[in-house]
Structure formats: C-alpha cells, structure tokens
Amino acid sequence: MPYLGLFGVKDSLISLTQSHFPTPARAPSTDPSTRSPPTPTPTPTPMDASGAPPLILAAAAALLLAAALGWLLAARSSKRGSARLLPPGSTGLPLVGETLRLISAYKTPNPEPFIDDRVARHGSGVFTTHVFGERTVFSADPAFNRLLLAAEGRAVGCSYPSSIATLLGPHSLLLTRGPAHRRLHTLTLTRLGRPASPPLLAHIDRLVLATMRGWEPASTVRLLDEAKKITFNLTVKQLVSIDPGPWTESVRREYVKLIDGFFSIPFPFAHLLPFTTYGQALKARKKVAGALREVIRKRMDDKLENGCANGKEDDKIEKKDMVEELLEAEGGSFSEEEMVDFCLSLLVAGYETTSVLMTLAVKFLTETPTALAQLKEEHENIRDVKGKNQPLEWSDFKSMPFTQCVINETLRVANLISGVFRRANTDIHFKDYVIPKGCKIFASFRAVHLNTEHYENARTFDPWRWQSKNKLQSAVGASLFTPFGGGPRLCPGYELARVVVSVFLHRLVTRFSWEEAEEDRLVFFPTTRTLKGYPINLQRRPDSVF
C-alpha cells in the first residue's frame, strides 16, 4: 500500500502540470524549402513523455522524493515505535550480530567492557544485542536479575545451547522443568546439601590428603588438574560409592572430552565426524553413560534380589549414595535413563566449578600476601588445638570465618557462573520496557559483582569486605551476591562446595608453602579458568605430617 500511495502522488503531479501549464508551440522553420504555409496550425511537440518542461519535471521529482523520504521516515518511526518497548541496543553485524565481540571480550582477562560500554552508552542496566544467533536482552541490573531468578518456571524458563542439552540428556537436573525438576532438586539437596554429615566430611578430608600425599616434597604441580582429581573422585563417591581406581580414572578421561564439547558447534552429522570436538564429546558421552548404566543396572538387580521394599524402618537408614536415593525415592524409583542423565549432570556440576574455585582461591591468596598470612594463622590455630594429623570435624569448619570471606571474595571476583540464560514465557514488564514472549535473556551476575556502585573497589580482591565489622559493605554486598544463582534453580551443592574448598585450603597451608611456577592468567570463555592450569612450585613444610 505505501508504494501505491507514492505512485498516486506522481500521477497527480503530472495531471497538475498538464492542465495548468500549456505546451509551447514549435518555432517556424527558417529553411525556405520547408517553410510552412503562412497560417499554419501549431503542432504540439512534447519535450518529455509527460509533456512537462524540465523545470516542472524537477519540481515534480522533488515532490516525489520528498514524499518517498517522508514515507521511509514514517515507516522507520513506526518500526521504532513497535520496538522501543525493548531495551535499547544494537544488532551488530549481519548474521553474526555481536557474537564475535562477546567472545573476543571473554577470551581476555578483562571482559567487562562488553557490558559496561553498552550500559553506559544506553543509560540503562539492560540492553538488547544479538548473540549466538538470537536477539538477546542482557541485564546488569540486580533488581531485574532477582526477578528473573525468582520467576523461573513461570514468567521465564531455562534456555541452554543445543550442544549442552544433547550431551547432558533430557533428564539432567539442568534441563528438567516443573515437578520433575523439583523432585530431582530435592533429592540433590538431601544428598549433597548436608556437608555437616560426619562420614561426608571425613571422606572429603581423606580424599584431599590422599591427593597431597602424591605430591613430592619439592615438586611442580598444575593445581587445577589436582583439584579436578579431588572433585571428580568425591562426586563419584557420592553418586555410586566407588573409590578412586582404574574405573574412576577411565571415566574421568572420557569425561574431560565430554566437557570440551559443551561449547562446540553441534553439527547435525557430528556423530559421523569423530575428529570434531563435538563428535568426540558425543562418543565420550556414550562411554560415560555406559559406565554409569552398568553400575545402576547392577544396583537395580541387587535391589530385586534382596527384595528390599520401602518401609518405615528403611526410611530411617541413611542412604549410602545418590543411586540408592533414586532407587528408594518416594513416589517410585526413576527409570534407568533418568538415573543415567541425572548422575551424569551431577558429575558436571561437581567436577568443573568447585575445582576452579579451589584453584583461584589459591591464586588470589598468592597475589595478596596479607590475606594469605591471615588465612595461615586461622588454620594453624585450628591445627594447634586439634593436633597435626587429626581429621577435621564440623566444629573446625565453623571456626574458619576468614576462610569463608576468602571463598566469598573469590566467587565475587572470578564469577565461575558469569550469568544464566533464560527465555521469556510471557511478556515481561520492567521499568519502561516490555520484553516479548520468546525473547532470550541473559542475567549477568558478573556485571553486578564487579560494579563499583555496588562494591567499593569492585575489581580488587578484598576478602575483608565480607567481615562482620564491615557491616554496611557486607550487608549490601550479600544482598546482591548471586554466585550460585537463585530461586528454584539455586545450586543445591553450594554448601558442599564451601566445605570442600575449606578443607583443601586447611590441608594446603598447614602442610606446604608455594610460589607461582610461571605467570598464568584468567580467561572467561567458554568457562572461567586459568590458561595454564595454574602451575606452582611446592615445598613441603618441615612440620607437616601425613
């Protein structure tokens, strides 16, 4: 219809010029041989197909151009009007949007400008961009982030790349929704949300000590690799009650390949291309799932042979691991596939983030000697009271207040979970904006945690900000602090992670001294980590006892 309107303008202009401006007659010829009779009737000769002189044509063209420009501006204004309810932003380059800029920023030690610059440019804590093939609203606003976390399952739902969904499986804790997710989340809290359990605490302590016994008195280790051994073996023990050995090591090797595939491109024919990262991850997933399936089937067979049914007396007996929790769950046991997917997803949660937290706590302490000295003093006091080689107890964990400050600050600065993706299930109203149903949203925890308006000297590692004597700073900081997410999808193992890191730091500082073996730096894509695994030169302390 707009084009018909433009054509109508042109036709009206032509009619106007023809009716109000007569066409001039041709001048008489000066050639005698062709001279016309004395009283000829002038023959009109059009100067243009429209019959209009150049001046009139120019005027008509100008009016036509003005009408066209007016239509384009009106259309653009209308488009803006329909989209202005979205937060302001840019779609970036054709096809790729701003994906390359985002990845480039997060591959550096300082990815903040990607969000900070856009927040400053648009004057809002939320902005619109286009990344990973979709229009996405980014949020650096703590109030909006809290709204998104609390609205999980109602106004918004979780949304993850297809590569992650395929590798984890549809029954993983990360991907289930509604009642199924609540059931799995409750079971996980039951198993992993009670780190005060004496058997669990004792097992963590034994695993840490067993790993450190393998370190030579003077040696160089890649701390991240050693931390991953601890967290993997601990998670396997909690899931299927298998101690470190050939089985756990073979599964761990495949698991590393599986993790590598999370942020690769899931080609439709990847299973036919085993040389691709994603193809290797799919193969590794089959092997890990197969190993878990064998254990689960044996446990199911044992349960049938023993004829053990749920009863009041059985309910009072503490389950020995997660598989037993699943087999004895209220409302009936889970299917084999559900248990495999669920256990596989818990391996991801326990393996990656806690090991990186352990490593970065040591890195930040090494770079902050005053904090390291205070941490050593706290743990040496605990050791002196207990004795050098006594197992740690829950009361010892509660006697580590500065250690908890160090863990909080490591989480705040490193942001192991940079944020979460959600998808709007309905139109979401926030401030003057409306985010339409179906739109993807990224709630950035990192942008909040490193905002100088929320935390004083936000880019500085300062564990003292969390001490109770800094009441204002600690209170404000805690209200904005979301390192483990929030709402219905709050990480169920967050307390266990704190205990593991605390035990690790206690055994490390009371048995070793160390220094960086070589310079290492942080990167944040595809996950938060150090480039080299943080190599350190260790020296066993003369007074250490194993």
Q: Which SS3 state, helix, strand or coil, does residue 7 take?
A: helix
DSSP code per residue over 491-543: -TTHHHHHHHHHHHHHHHHTTEEEEESS---EE-SSSSEETT--EEEEEE-TT
DSSP state of 428: E
CB 105 within 8 A of CB 94: no
Q: How far apart are CA 135 and CA 462, in angstroms?
A: 36
Separation of first and last alpha carbons in the chain: 84
Q: How many residues does the chain have?
A: 546
* Exposed e or buried b per residue across 429-443, where buried means at least 16 C-beta atoms within 10 angstroms of its C-beta: ebeebbbeeebbbbb
Cis omega before residue 526 (within 30°)?
yes
Residue positions forming the annotated binding site for heme? 491
Residue 223 backbone class (left: φ over 0; alpha: ψ -120 to 50; beta: rest): alpha
Q: In what order do the strands lie in the sheet with 218-222?
A: 218-222, 535-540, 512-516
Residue positions forming the annotated binding site? 491
The helix or strand, by DSSP H or E, that contains position 148, with its residue range, turns out to be helix 142-150
DSSP-based helix, strand, coil % in the chain, nearest 5: 55, 10, 35
CB 446 within 8 A of CB 411: no
CB 459 within 8 A of CB 110: no
Name the β-bridge partners of 535: 222
CB 414 within 8 A of CB 109: no
DSSP code per residue over 97-130: BTHHHHHHHHTSS--THHHHHHHHHHTSSEEEEE
